[in-house]
């Protein structure tokens, strides 16, 4: 007996990439390559997340095959996409014998990318609202917005801000997995206390961010912030 398992990604949004919650559909072709009839043939796939459906093939004569009785599916996860493919092994079992088939389905991801934005929270804080920059009481809030605009999760994320002399490795709110996942945004804000010599000018800030994709290839982003300190 032989088992041929074929897996196909259903690209539901037709963007050419694998996305979470899209589905891999599997078909199974079972052939009797022997000289005796096979009975009560079932298919099983123990891989977590794979759902197998079908009904036992009561009998399969020598030389005959069946590709309609069994099928399976797997809902794609972000971890699958980060891995670049999904591999699983199915087993066809008859009363008389069994057969295995392993399949790897490629899961192409959108290129790794991220943006570092100038959040609306970046501003001069003027507590007495006098409209003047006072180094004794006023300060600048620099608010960073970092967004994963690619298709894979990013790790080892490091934001460096030379003006403030800081290095940040995560958002202000705790992140569940410590990774910047596709579509996820991290926000970080820090205060900058300016000097009297800077009043009347624009304080320029040029933070940068580095990260690694699942293959440890570097991904970079940068931004420019400018805040006027009115006299």
Averaged pLDDT, 174-178: 92
Q: How many helices (H) and strands (E) does the chain have?
A: 1, 19
Tell whether the model's pLDDT for residue 120 goes beyond 90. Answer: no
Q: Residue 189: its pLDDT value, please?
A: 94
Residue 215: pLDDT over 80? yes
Give me the mean pLDDT over the 202-221 stretch. Answer: 97
Q: How many CA atoms lie within 13 A of 202 on its CB side?
A: 7
Give CA–CA dist 55/188, Å, rounded: 54
The 10s digit of each residue's pLDDT in 45-59 is 999 999 999 999 999
| Average pLDDT for 205-222 | 97
Are 71 and 26 a contacting pair, CB within 8 Å? Answer: yes
pLDDT bucket at 118, cuts 50 / 70 / 90: confident
The beta strands (E) that lie in the chain are given as 2-10, 23-31, 38-44, 50-54, 57-60, 65-66, 70-75, 85-93, 98-106, 114-118, 123-125, 139-148, 155-161, 166-168, 185-192, 202-205, 208-212, 218-222, 225-228
Query: What is the spatial distance between Cα 155 and Cα 42, in angstroms, rounded to a whole number?
Result: 42
Whole-structure pTM value = 0.87
Give the rounded percent of residues in the chain with a pLDDT score beyond 70.
100
- Choose among 95, 77, 102, 90: nearest CA to 43: 90
Whether 119 shows a pLDDT value over 80: the answer reads no
Confidence check: pLDDT of 121 > 90: no
Average pLDDT, the chain: 96
Alpha-carbon distance of 134 to 147, in angstroms, equals: 33
**Interatomic CA distance for residues 180 and 214, integer angstroms:** 11
Model confidence pLDDT, tens digit, residues 78-97: 999 999 999 999 999 999 99
Distance CA 219, CA 136 (A): 39
| Domains by residue range for the chain, with CATH | 2-106 (2.60.40.10), 114-228 (2.60.40)
Q: In the predicted model, is pLDDT for residue 196 greater than 90?
A: yes
DSSP state of 182: T
């Amino acid at each position: 007996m032989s088992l041929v398992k074929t897996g196909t990604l259903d690209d539901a949004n037709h963007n050419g990439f694998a996305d979470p919650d899209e589905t891999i559909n599997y078909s199974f072709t079972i052939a009797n390559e022997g000289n005796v009839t096979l009975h009560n043939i079932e298919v099983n796939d123990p891989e977590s997340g794979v759902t197998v459906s079908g009904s036992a093939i009561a009998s399969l004569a020598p030389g005959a095959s069946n590709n309609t009785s069994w099928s399976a599916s797997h809902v794609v996860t972000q971890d699958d996409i980060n891995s670049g493919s999904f591999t699983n092994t199915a087993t066809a079992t008859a009363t008389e014998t069994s057969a295995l088939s392993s399949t790897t389905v490629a899961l192409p991801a959108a290129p790794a990318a991220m943006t570092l934005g100038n959040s609306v929270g970046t501003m001069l804080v003027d507590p007495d609202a006098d409209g003047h920059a006072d180094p004794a009481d006023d300060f600048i809030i620099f608010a960073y917005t970092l967004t994963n605009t690619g298709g894979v999760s990013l790790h080892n994320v490091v934001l460096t801000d030379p003006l403030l002399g800081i290095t940040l490795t995560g958002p202000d709110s705790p992140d569940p997995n410590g990774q910047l996942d596709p579509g996820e945004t991290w926000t970080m804000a820090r205060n900058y206390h300016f000097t009297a010599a800077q009043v009347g000018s624009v304080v320029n800030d040029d933070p940068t961010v580095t990260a690694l994709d699942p293959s440890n290839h570097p991904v970079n982003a940068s931004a420019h912030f400018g805040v006027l300190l009115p006299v």
